[in-house]
C-alpha cells in the first residue's frame, strides 16, 4: 500500500507540473514579455506534443526497468521545473516544456501498469485508482496551492517549489520501489497500429475527453455568464469540484462493474451536468450540486479509460495505456480548440450543448466497442 501511495504522490506531482501554467498564465506572460495567447501555447502545444509522442516513446523505452523509468521521469519533472524558475525568455521556456512533454506521455503510459504489478492480487481498476487519486488530489489541492504560491511569492517560486517536491518523490520511489524489469524487451508499433482495438482505445478516449474539456476549459465564463455565479464564488466552486473529484475517483476504483460501465455512468453524469448548467438560472444551490456532479463524473473519466484499455488488452497493458494517453491529450487539445471557437463565434451557451452532443457520440462509440471485450472463459 505504501508503494502505491508513493505512486499516487508521483501522479500528484506530474498533474500539478502539467497544469501549473494554466493558473499562472498571465504572470508567466508578463514575466517573459509575451502575450497571454503566446503563453497559452505552453499548454495547448504541450498537449498536442504528448498526443504525438506517447505511443512511439513508450515503444522505444519498453525494455527499461519500470522502477528506473518512473523515478527518472520524476527527476526529469523536477529538473525542468527548477530550470523553468530561472528562464528569462519564452523560447527557453517553450523548449523546457517540450522536454517535459516527452516525459509526460511515458509517465502516464506506464504508471497505471506499474500500480497493477505492485498489487497483483488487487482488481485492475482498484490498483489504477491509487494512481488517479493523485490526479484528483492534484486538481483539488495541488493546483489551488501552487496558484496561491504563485500569487504570494511569484510564478518562479511556484515552479521551484514543484520541482523540489518532484525530486523528493523521485528519491522516495528509488528507495521504496522494487526492481520492475520490463515484461517485454520490445513491442513493435506496426502490428499494434493495425489492430482495431488499439485505435478504438485512442478514439474512444479522445471523444470522452473532448466531451469534458470542450466545456471545462471555459468553466469560469460558464459559471459567470450561464449560471450567473459571482466572481468571488468561483474559487470555492472549483474547490468543491476538486473535492468531489476525489470522491468520484474513490468510488470509481471500488465500483463492482467493468470499466466500460463506469465510463457509461460517468458520461450520463456529464450529460446531467450540462443540462443542469443550462437550467441553473440564478439558483446557487443548483450550481453547487452541479459542481459536485461534474467533479465526480470528470474524475471517473480520468481513470476509467486507462482501466478499460488494460481490460481490453491485458497482455499489452503499457501499449494500451499509451494509446489511451494519446487519445486523452488529443482530446484536451481538440476540446479546448472546439470550445474556444464556439465561445468566440456562437457564445458561451453553446458549450454545454456541444459537449452534450459529444457525450452522446461517446456513448455510441462505447457501445460499438463491445466487440473488443475479451471473452471470459469458465
Whether the per-residue pLDDT at 139 is higher than 80: the answer is no
Which region holds residue 178: left if phi is over 0, alpha if psi is between -120 and 50, else beta? beta
Within a 10 A sphere around the Cβ of 90, how many other Cβ atoms? 19
Taking only the tens place, the pLDDT of each residue in 269-328 is: 999 999 998 887 778 889 999 999 999 999 888 878 888 888 888 777 777 888 888 888
| pLDDT score at 377 | 43
| Highest mean pLDDT (candidates 14-28, 38-52, 76-90, 111-125) | 76-90
- Is 189-372 in CATH node 1.20.1250.20? yes
Q: Is 121 exposed, middle or buried (0-12, 13-18, 19+ CB in 10 A)?
A: exposed
Distance between CA 167 and CA 154 in Å, rounded? Answer: 21
Distance between CA 260 and CA 82 in Å, rounded? Answer: 40
Taking only the tens place, the pLDDT of each residue in 187-224 is: 566 777 777 888 899 899 999 999 998 888 788 788 88
Per cent of the chain over pLDDT 70 is: 96
Per cent of the chain over pLDDT 90 is: 25
| pLDDT score at 378 | 38
Taking only the tens place, the pLDDT of each residue in 247-264 is: 887 887 777 788 889 999
Name the H helices within the chain: 2-23, 25-32, 36-39, 41-60, 66-84, 90-118, 124-137, 143-153, 155-176, 189-194, 196-216, 219-221, 234-254, 259-279, 284-312, 317-345, 350-368
**What CATH number does domain 2-176 carry, 3.40.50.12780, 2.30.110.10, 3.90.230.10, 1.20.1250.20?**
1.20.1250.20
Please, which residues have CB within 8 angstroms of residue 138's CB and are 6 or more apart in sequence?
11, 12, 13, 15, 16, 19
Residue-range domain boundaries for the chain: 2-176, 189-372
Please report where in the chains the cell 493546483 appears, as a residue. Answer: 143
Mean pLDDT of 87-105: 91
Q: Please determine whether the domains at 2-176 and 189-372 fall in the same fold group of CATH.
A: yes
- Find out whether 54 and 333 touch, Cβ atoms under 8 Å: no
How much is the pTM? 0.77
Within a 10 A sphere around the Cβ of 45, how many other Cβ atoms? 15
- Find out whether 141 and 8 touch, Cβ atoms under 8 Å: no
The full length of the chain comes to 378
Amino acid at each position: 500500500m505504501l508503494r502505491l501511495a508513493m505512486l499516487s504522490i508521483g501522479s500528484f506531482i506530474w498533474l500539478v507540473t502539467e497544469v501549473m501554467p494554466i493558473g499562472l498564465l498571465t504572470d508567466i506572460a508578463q514575466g517573459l514579455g509575451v502575450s497571454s495567447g503566446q503563453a497559452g501555447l505552453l499548454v495547448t502545444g504541450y498537449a498536442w506534443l504528448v498526443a504525438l509522442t506517447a505511443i512511439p516513446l513508450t515503444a522505444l523505452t519498453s525494455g527499461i526497468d519500470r522502477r528506473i523509468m518512473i523515478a527518472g521521469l520524476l527527476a526529469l519533472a523536477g529538473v525542468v521545473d527548477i530550470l523553468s524558475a530561472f528562464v528569462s525568455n519564452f523560447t527557453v521556456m517553450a523548449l523546457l516544456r517540450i522536454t517535459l512533454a516527452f516525459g509526460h506521455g511515458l509517465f502516464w503510459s506506464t504508471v497505471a501498469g506499474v500500480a497493477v504489478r505492485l498489487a497483483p492480487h488487487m482488481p485492475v481498476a482498484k490498483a489504477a485508482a491509487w494512481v488517479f487519486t493523485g490526479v484528483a488530489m492534484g486538481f483539488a489541492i495541488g493546483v489551488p496551492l501552487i496558484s496561491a504560491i504563485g500569487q504570494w511569492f511569484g510564478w518562479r517560486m511556484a515552479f521551484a517549489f514543484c520541482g523540489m517536491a518532484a525530486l523528493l518523490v523521485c528519491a522516495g520511489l528509488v528507495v521504496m520501489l522494487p526492481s520492475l524489469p520490463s515484461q517485454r524487451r520490445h513491442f513493435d508499433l506496426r502490428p499494434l497500429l493495425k489492430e482495431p482495438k488499439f485505435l478504438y482505445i485512442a478514439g474512444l478516449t479522445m471523444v470522452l475527453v473532448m466531451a469534458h474539456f470542450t466545456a471545462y476549459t471555459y468553466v469560469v465564463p460558464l459559471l459567470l455568464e450561464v449560471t450567473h455565479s459571482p466572481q468571488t464564488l468561483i474559487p470555492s466552486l472549483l474547490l468543491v469540484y476538486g473535492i468531489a473529484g476525489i470522491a468520484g475517483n474513490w468510488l470509481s476504483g471500488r465500483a463492482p462493474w467493468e470499466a466500460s460501465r463506469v465510463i457509461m455512468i460517468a458520461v450520463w453524469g456529464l450529460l446531467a451536468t450540462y443540462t443542469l448548467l443550462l437550467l441553473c438560472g440564478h439558483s446557487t444551490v443548483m450550481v453547487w450540486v452541479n459542481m459536485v456532479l461534474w467533479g465526480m463524473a470528470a474524475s471517473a473519466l480520468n481513470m476509467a479509460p486507462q482501466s478499460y484499455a488494460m481490460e481490453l488488452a491485458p497482455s499489452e497493458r503499457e501499449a494500451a495505456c499509451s494509446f489511451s494517453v494519446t487519445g486523452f491529450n488529443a482530446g484536451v487539445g481538440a476540446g479546448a480548440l472546439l470550445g474556444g471557437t464556439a465561445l468566440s463565434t456562437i457564445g458561451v451557451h453553446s458549450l454545454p450543448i456541444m459537449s452534450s452532443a459529444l457525450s452522446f457520440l461517446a456513448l455510441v462509440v462505447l457501445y460499438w466497442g463491445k466487440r473488443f471485450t475479451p471473452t471470459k472463459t469458465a
